[in-house]
């Protein structure tokens, strides 16, 4: 899609309203993605050099921009976190997050809105193979972001996503349920850390009630999701990490967000239950 040019059909708008998500193929230009991928390749190289790792790499190519990453985390998983924190600071990525096309798309899907970009709500997610600790379970975006009840998740891959890499799972139409209660699981076999410990109450009920879609995407594609649609990270059983860009836009004019001063949630160091105590029904240990 050319810069500054966003066109979607009424059928696509209706699909987003009915299903809670919409996949737009080739939304971003190849150059937009390549610039980000090249920077990631260079950052991975810097980490290898800094820590004196004996990891050989092929010359850069967009299809193997993450060459050496899996070898790094096999040597030291902590360095994966260093790379995760670093890549979200790539200028080309930040430019794409704030690209006018994203704002235009939001306004097409949310008529009469005043778009905002969620601070601390954008980054590059790395879903490592066979790693459950940081895999997002079934959730709605709003409790994890707040800002506004009227929000949209933007999800875009940096590589071709194959079924075994764990594409995002979406429960189509589940946004019709509205805000759903949550529980905190901090111990036991299903326990996770931090925001990952927050789980939908009776999540299996919704997983059975709504059909699951797991769209496989390619660089340049954009998946947008209603803040209320239930989704999760798929399980990566491949031998390569799934790299995806994620950012959130919201509507300043929505009444709940405006009343709360458009405050953020976990990423901003805020406990969402302060604003929605009715959503946290059980804090089991």
146: left (phi over 0), alpha (psi -120 to 50) or beta: left
Q: What is the mean pLDDT of residues 213-219?
A: 98
As a whole-number percent, the residues of the chain with pLDDT over 70 amount to 93
Strands 198-200 and 182-184: antiparallel
As a whole-number percent, the residues of the chain with pLDDT over 90 amount to 82
Across 12-21, 150-159, 218-227, 260-269, least confident range: 260-269
CATH (residue range 10-28+116-279): 2.60.120.620
* pLDDT higher than 90, residue 51: yes
Q: What is the mean pLDDT of residues 60-79?
A: 98
Q: Which of 122, 162, 167 is nearest to 141 (CA)?
A: 122
Q: Which helix (H) or strand (E) is 45 found in, with range? A: helix 30-50
- E strands within the chain? 21-24, 115-117, 123-127, 151-157, 169-171, 182-184, 198-200, 212-213, 222-226, 231-232, 242-251, 280-282
Task: Please state the pTM of the whole predicted model.
Answer: 0.93
What is the Cα–Cα distance from 75 to 67, expressed in whole angstroms? Answer: 14
* pLDDT higher than 70, residue 194: no
Which pLDDT score, from 0 to 100, does residue 273 have? 84
Q: What is the mean pLDDT of residues 213-234?
A: 98
Q: What is the mean pLDDT of residues 179-208?
A: 78
- How do residues 140-161 score in pLDDT, each as one tens digit? 999 989 999 999 999 999 999 9
Which pLDDT score, from 0 to 100, does residue 4 have? 61
Strands 123-127 and 182-184: unpaired
Which pLDDT score, from 0 to 100, does residue 285 have? 41
Which pLDDT score, from 0 to 100, does residue 197 have? 73
Torsion (CA) 137, 142, 147, 152 in degrees, nearest 10: 90
Locate CATH 2.60.120.620 in the chain. 10-28+116-279
């Amino acid at each position: 899609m050319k810069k500054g040019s966003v066109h979607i059909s009424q059928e696509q708008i209706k699909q987003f309203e009915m299903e809670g998500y919409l996949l737009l193929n080739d939304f971003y230009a190849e150059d937009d993605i390549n610039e980000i991928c090249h920077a990631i390749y260079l950052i991975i190289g810097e980490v290898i050099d800094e820590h004196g790792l004996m990891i050989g790499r092929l010359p850069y190519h967009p299809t193997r921009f993450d060459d050496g990453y899996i070898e790094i985390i096999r040597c030291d998983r902590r360095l994966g976190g260093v790379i995760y924190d670093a890549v979200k600071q790539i200028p080309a990525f930040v430019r794409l997050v704030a690209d006018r096309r994203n704002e235009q798309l939001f306004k097409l899907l949310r008529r009469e809105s005043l778009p905002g970009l969620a601070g601390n709500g954008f980054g590059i997610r790395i879903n490592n193979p066979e790693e459950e600790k940081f895999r997002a379970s079934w959730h709605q975006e709003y409790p994890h972001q707040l800002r506004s009840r009227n929000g949209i998740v933007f999800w875009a891959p940096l590589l071709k996503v194959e079924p075994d890499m764990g594409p995002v799972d979406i429960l189509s139409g589940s946004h019709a349920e509205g805000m759903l209660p949550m529980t905190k699981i901090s111990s036991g076999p299903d326990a996770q850390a931090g925001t990952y410990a927050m789980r939908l109450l009776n999540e299996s009920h919704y997983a059975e009630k709504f059909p699951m879609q797991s769209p496989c995407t390619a660089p340049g594609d954009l998946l947008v999701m209603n803040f209320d649609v239930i989704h999760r990270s798929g399980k990566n059983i491949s031998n390569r990490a799934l790299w995806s860009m994620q950012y959130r836009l919201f509507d300043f004019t929505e009444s709940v967000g405006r009343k709360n001063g458009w405050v953020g949630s976990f990423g901003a160091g805020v406990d969402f239950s302060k604003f929605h105590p009715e959503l946290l029904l059980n804090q089991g240990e």
